[in-house]
Amino acid sequence: MAIGCKPTETEEQSEKRPNIVFIMADDHAYQAISAYGEGLNETPNIDRIAKDGAIFTRATVTNSICAPSRAVLLTGKHSFMNGKVDNIQPFDWEQDNFPKLMQANGYATALIGKIHLDGQPQGFDYSMVLPGQGNYYNPDFLINGEKKRIEGYVTDITTDLALDWLENGRDKEKPFVLLYHQKAPHRNWKPAPEYLTLYDDKEFTPPANFFDEETNYQGRGTAAREQEMEIDEIMRWGLDLMLEVDPYGDSTNLKGQLQRLNPEQLEAWRAAFDPKNAAFLKAYGQLDEKTLSLEKKREIAIWKYNRYIKNYLRTIKSVDDGVGEVLDYLEANGLAENTIVVYTSDQGFYLGEHGWFDKRFMYEESFRTPLLMKFPKEIKPGTSIKSLVQNLDFAPTFLDYAGINIPQEMQGESFRKLVSGESDVWRDAVYYTYYEYPAEHSVKRHNGVATDRYKLIHFYYDIDEWELYDLEKDPREMNSVYDDPAYADVREMMHKKFDEVRAKYGDSDANDKRFLDEYMEVYNRRNNK
């Protein structure tokens, strides 16, 4: 889509309420944004937001799983208050959300891309969303509720749709809110045709604790030992690693996945992956899993890590391209000065830390989420925010910028004054809950509280274990100090903080039992128990 050739709205927009472009990726780890300095990849367009505005180094989520995180974003309420505690329970669109309130107060509103919440989205003049998780190639979209299949690559399509709404779909007499949500880099990481061979010339070194499993997660508890998130053990040869035949001679489900591709897409796919797959099978084919040496197991694990991380980063390259197109559009059309642009993810993700992929835990890699934000009128370029903000805070922050009263039931806080530098007063702790167990990945139910230095986690239901981490001394969370006598005072302090924060937000053991009972009713029915 062609963008405007000259600014057209600068003078008008300068006196209006700000526009908002809220960009959310799915499972985009902060480690995979070059502005965070991890050195894993380059994201020059996402980095533009930090360069021209602010980067948050301790943004966190309240519940590290897709649909509940999005429900928190919309409602400004914890999962146990908005009702969407896991990916199974329905989401109630009838409750207030910030787009509804902005729509009612004169904003043009649109939701384009992934939302992963069943039902017809409410609060949007226009919605064009993926059903469920969506597909990377030739995806279906629900356009105001009606299904349509669109040929192409989902990230590019989502960007084109967002640009089209900005240019042709919105009422240009109104300020606007655009929720522009990408599917990528969600599992199972199918790159765009133009990036299928990106990083082929590079070998990635796994994180230092990649072989954490070999120590049986010493220093951690049952939850870390019993999860099912290991790249080496849990990733599937077809679904995740893009092999049609695994090295032990069995066929996989990849052939079925590839039926979605058209002939041109499939030709590009095979040209990129078939030689690499053949080389792997030649080196490791027909192996006996039971007799593999530790050295050989490590070789295969590192190969899996590289196949995973390269595809993951390839999908992010397309996301970054799209961010650049949207930023360019805003600048070319005189909208940049009066538009708040936010880039974030629905949660963090493991990129080999502890040997894992996926999210769910309150450990840092999934608890933290990337957050970058620019608004030239109020945010100085190069701002860095270390405070504990959460996805809980987006709804009240946007309402604050729009001059709309924040409903009392919203539990988040506007960080407008924090990011503008007008105030440095902020919360000293954040609260976390996770409910989806027993389920895929086997991450146990838990809740917890975190301060700028310490983190207390309670794993419950089929176990009753506490873990305490000193993030200053142990940023990778390799050793719980809960039973360390030297941390007795810290433990007592964190338990008090846990009780205080839990009471503040209205959580309780009764809530835990209610959501467990509701979940197990569905779980047992699905599993014929």
Tokens of 447: 């809740």
The enclosing H or E element of 140 equals strand 140-143
Identify the pLDDT of residue 528. Answer: 85
3-state secondary structure of 505: helix
Percentage, residues of the chain above pLDDT 70: 97
Query: Which pLDDT belongs to residue 15?
Result: 58
- Give the angle 319-320-321 at the CA atoms, nearest 5°: 90
The pLDDT of residue 11 is above 90: no
Residues 183-219 have pLDDT tens digits of: 999 999 999 999 999 999 999 999 999 999 999 999 9
Specify the 3-state DSSP secondary structure of 374.
strand
Quick check: 431 and 80 in contact, CB under 8 A? no
43-53 pLDDT, tens digit per residue, is 999 999 999 99
pLDDT tens digit string along 486-517?
A: 999 999 999 999 999 999 999 999 999 999 99
The region that residue 76 occupies, defined by phi over 0 for left and psi between -120 and 50 for alpha, beta otherwise, is left
Residue 292: predicted pLDDT: 87
Determine the Cα–Cα distance for residues 477 and 520; give it in Å rounded to an integer. Answer: 31
For residue 18, what is the DSSP state? P
Q: How confident is the model at residue 249 (pLDDT cuts 50, 70, 90)?
A: confident
Q: How many CB atoms lie within 10 A of CB 299?
A: 14
Non-local (6+) Cβ contacts of 335 within 8 A are: 9, 13, 19, 329
C-alpha–C-alpha distance, residues 216 and 225, integer Å: 6
User: What is the DSSP track for 447-463?
Assistant: EEEE-SSEEEEEE-SS-
CB-based contact 21:339 (threshold 8 Å)? yes
pLDDT tens readout for residues 52-92: 999 999 999 999 999 999 999 999 999 999 999 999 999 99
Task: List strand residue ranges (DSSP E) for 30-187, in order.
Answer: 54-56, 108-113, 126-129, 140-143, 146-149, 176-181
Contact residues for 1 (Cβ-Cβ < 8 A; gap 6+): 160, 163, 164, 167
Check residue 105 and give its pLDDT.
Answer: 98
Instruction: Evaluate if residue 289 carries a pLDDT over 90.
Output: no
CB 376 within 8 A of CB 327: no
Of 385, 360, 361, which Cα lies nearest the Cα of 372? 385
Place of tokens 């969407």: 84
Q: Which domains does the chain have, with CATH numbers?
A: 193-307 (no CATH), 434-528 (3.30.1120.10)
Across residues 256-285, what is the average pLDDT?
A: 96
Average pLDDT, the chain: 95
| Residue located via tokens 């029915």 | 525
Q: How far apart are CA 526 and CA 515, in angstroms?
A: 17
Integer Cα distance of 314 and 30 in angstroms: 15
Left if phi > 0, otherwise alpha if psi is -120 to 50, otherwise beta: which for 192? beta
* Vertex 22: Cα angle to 21 and 24 (nearest 5): 140
Whether the CB-CB separation of 354 and 215 falls below 8 Å is answered with no
Q: Is the pTM of this model over 0.85?
A: yes
Q: What is the mean pLDDT of residues 283-297?
A: 86
pLDDT at position 13 over 80: no
Q: Is the pLDDT of residue 2 over 70?
A: no
The whole-angstrom separation of Cα 370 and Cα 137 is: 26
Instruction: Tell me what the mean pLDDT of segment 353-381 comes to.
Output: 98
3-state secondary structure of 238: coil
Which residues, 6+ apart, have CB-to-CB distance to 464 below 8 Å?
Answer: 458
pLDDT single digits (tens) 129-159: 999 999 999 999 999 889 999 999 999 999 9
Give the whole-number percent of the chain exceeding pLDDT 90: 92
Which two three-digit tokens encode residue 69? Answer: 């995180």
Token pair of 18, please? 């700000």
Is the Cβ–Cβ distance between 45 and 319 less than 8 Å? no
pLDDT digit string, tens, across residues 413-460: 999 999 999 999 999 999 999 999 999 999 999 999 999 999 999 999
Side chain identity, residue 489: D
pLDDT of residue 1 exceeding 60? no
DSSP state of 439: S
